[in-house]
Chain A
Amino acid sequence: MSDFSLLMTHGVFHLFAALITLCSVLVVMSKHPVKSAVFLVVDLFLLAGLYATLDSHFVAAIQVLVYAGAIVVLFLFVIMLLNLQPEQLRGLKFSAVEAGTLVISLVGFLITVVATFKGDQTGLGDGSLDPVAIEAAGGNTYVVAMKLLTNYIWPFELASVLILMAIVAAVVIAKKDKKKTSAPIS
């Protein structure tokens, strides 16, 4: 790999990383829930881009299809349904458990950063998943599909049970009974 291409790969990663971090901060800190949702979409789209640079094309596609295209739409719908107003951000008041969790997460984060930049790295390779070999085997989507449907049969079938339970639960919780329904606008 040439110097130029190495520079580009690193540049793309750092650009995406910076944008993702920025968007994540905005998701968490925006006062208006709709703003948070829109930044979440941008965030998820950028993460899909990062997956694409990792040659995980299928994951990138479903990231956009399911996360950005479906889950956040649901969030937006609920925000509009409840007509939520901007929230007053309260001061930094935490209970002991919350503060403890936060400190632990920050310490974990710092350890990871220090460990990375002290050179004490995980020892994992840097991309031994050869794209050319994957291409020869039938492409990323095909390889993922074969893996899912041969090695992961039980999780696959259990996923359908999970979705079934989610469907039933959501309908039970959210659906009003007929007689209580006030005339809907639509």
Chain B
Amino acid sequence: MGLTADEFTIQFIATLVKFAIVAGLLLQIPPVMVWVERRVPAMMQRRKGPNRVGIFKWRIYGLMQSLADTIKLIFKEEVVPEGAQKAFYHLAPVFSVFPAFLIAMAIPYGPDIHAFGTTIPLSIIRVDVGFLFIFAVSSLAVYGVTIAGWASNNKYSLLGSLRASAQMISYEIPLGMSLIPIVLIYGTLDLNKIVEAQSHFWKWGVFLSPVSFLLFLIAMFAETNRAPFDLAEAEGELVAGFHTEYTSAKFAAFFLGEYVSMFVLSCLASTVFFGGWQVPFFSVQKLDDLTGFIGVSALIGHVTLMLKATFFMWLYIWVRWTIPRFRYDQLMSLGWKYMIPLGLVNVVVTAVVIAAFRFS
């Protein structure tokens, strides 16, 4: 709409390039995170963790362990349990992977680039409904879990999947409600505009709406089925939850989906509450003019966002090794009896305060 043919070509190529970069980044996350998730607890418990595997004589802290694991995983035998619903059994990993990739493309990874006579946004998907797109697509992730558990013909899988999906849908409401005050404050659903509105350090979402941040943080852990809410795959009781019967590359697919959605929620938390690609006390957009190179601002902004997201990824692991697992009834009553009322009160209070200031 309203674009010349040249602009269309530039935008299309830019989309492909951005997509290739982000997809490449996302595919690196599970291997690195698997390594981090073994090294960090080792550090916390004063063990060494995996440190042997390396290339020739360079061990680089065992980073190649993940590569070895990946190769091993892919070449393992695939065991399809007897009595499984074959079609659904093979379909479930697909349902688990594609929503994660789709939502990852809606995050603004940096400030807009003004080049080639047009504006190139650094988020790949930018639709009118803003971050409702992320909620909409991530609500599809439930199917991967539900179908995987049901198709495996294993009662632990089924129970794990029902628990996991009930948990995911329960915490979708607090997750949605926690961001309503953000819309009230910044007046937009567009993530990029929300980031631009946080140009001043004290205007970050976490200062303007701390309760929202708390709700979002808790819901974020529960949405991804991570500790302390990892009841779906409570090792002691349910074997491994909904992916008990999955082996080889299909198992890897579930891991990919889980880690990518963790990363996306980390990025979303940094974007909405911690200024996204904004550097505190410094205007990133001016960097292009200061240095004379187009794209410096985008690069710095991108690195800033990645650092913030890395903090949240670290938090995931930190919390996992700090807080013990909840019971299922505690989990559900936390979600339904505390977080939803708190979310509603938060919305009402924010609205009344803003209205009192603006329309008095």
Contacts of A60 in B (CB 8 A): 129
Write out, one digit per residue, whether chain B residues 121-135 have a CB within 8 A of any chain A CB (1) or not (0). Answer: 000000111101101
Among the listed A52, A65, A76, A140, which residue makes an inter-chain contact with B146, where contact means beta carbons less than 8 Å apart?
A76
Of the candidates B130, B140, B146, which one forms a contact with A68 in the assembled complex, judged by CB atoms under 8 Å apart? B140
> When A34-B150, A73-B169 are in contact, do A185 and B132 touch as well, CB less than 8 Å?
no
State which of B16-24, B159-167, B279-287 sits at the interface with chain A. B159-167
Within 8 A of A (CB), among B101-140: 127-130, 132-133, 135-137, 139-140
Q: Which of A44-90 contact B (CB under 8 A)?
A: 45, 52, 57-58, 60-62, 64-65, 68-70, 73, 76-77, 80
Instruction: For the complex formed, measure the closest distance between the CB of B259 and the CB atoms of chain A, giving whole angstroms.
Output: 21
In the docked arrangement, what's the CA distance between A58 and B127, Å?
A: 10
A139 and B128 within 8 A (CB): yes
Rounded to whole angstroms, the CA-CA distance of A4 and B146 in the bound complex is 42
B139-A61 in contact (CB<8A): no
| Bound form: Cα–Cα A61–B106 in Å | 14
Chain A residues in 8 Å Cβ range of B159: 185-186
Are A68 and B139 closer than 8 Å at their CB atoms? yes
- Tell whether, in the assembled complex, residue B150 and residue A65 are in contact, meaning their CB atoms are under 8 Å apart: no
Beyond A73-B165, A131-B1, is A141–B143 a contact (Cβ under 8 Å)?
no
A140 and B128 contact, Cβ closer than 8 Å, known pairs A68-B139, A132-B1: yes
Q: Which residues of B contact A41 (CB under 8 A)?
A: 140, 143
Give Cα distance in the complex from A80 to B140, angstroms.
Answer: 18
Secondary structure class of chain A's binding surface, majority of residues = helix
Q: Would you call B313 an interface residue if the criterion is a C-beta within 8 Å of the partner chain's C-beta atoms?
A: no
**Contact, CB under 8 Å: A70 / B132:** no
CB pair A132–B2 under 8 Å, yes or no, is yes
A38 lies within 8 A of chain B by Cβ: yes
Q: Does B147 contact A (CB under 8 A)?
A: yes
Band of interface residues on A? 20 to 34
**How many Å lie between the Cα of A30 and that of B191 in the bound state?**
41
**B128 and A57 within 8 A (CB):** yes
Q: Mark B84-106, 1 if CB is under 8 A from A, else 0.
A: 01001001000000000000000
Contact among B1, B85, B139, B163 with A65 in the assembled complex (CB-CB below 8 Å): B139
Give the number of residue pairs across the A-B interface with Cβ within 8 Å. 75
* Measured CA separation A45–B169 after assembly (Å): 18
Q: How far is the CA of A166 from the CA of B146 in the complex (A)?
A: 25
Question: Within 8 Å CB of B135, what residues of A?
Answer: 65
Q: Does B227 make an interface contact (CB < 8 A)? A: no
Point out the residues of chain A lying under 8 angstroms from B85, CB to CB: 34
Interface size class of B (residues with CB under 8 A): 20 to 34
Given A64-B136, A73-B169, does the pair A57, B142 have CB atoms closer than 8 Å? no
Contact of B129 among A34, A61, A73, A132 (CB under 8 A): A61
Quick check: B139 and A69 within 8 Å, CB to CB? yes
CB pair B129 A57 closer than 8 Å: yes
A64 and B169 form a contact (CB under 8 A): no
Chain A, residue nearest B138 (CB): A69
B87: nearest residue on chain A (CB-CB)? A35
For A60, the closest partner residue in chain B by CB is B129
Cβ-neighbour of B128 out of A34, A58, A62, A65 (below 8 A) = A58
Q: Which chain B residues have a beta carbon within 8 Å of chain A's beta carbons?
A: 1-2, 85, 88, 91, 127-130, 132-133, 135-137, 139-140, 142-143, 146-147, 150, 158-159, 162-163, 165, 169, 172, 189, 328
The 3 closest A-B pairs by CB, nearest first: A69-B139, A57-B128, A64-B136
Taking A34-B85, A141-B132 as known contacts, 11 extra A-B pairs with beta carbons closer than 8 A to each other, sorted by chain A number, are A34-B147, A57-B128, A62-B132, A64-B137, A69-B140, A69-B172, A73-B143, A73-B169, A76-B143, A77-B146, A140-B129
* Residue contacts A-B, CB under 8 angstroms, 30 given: A34-B147, A34-B150, A38-B91, A38-B147, A45-B140, A58-B129, A58-B132, A61-B127, A61-B129, A61-B136, A62-B132, A64-B136, A64-B137, A64-B140, A65-B132, A68-B139, A68-B140, A73-B169, A76-B147, A77-B165, A80-B146, A80-B158, A140-B129, A141-B130, A141-B132, A141-B189, A186-B159, A186-B162, A186-B163, A186-B328
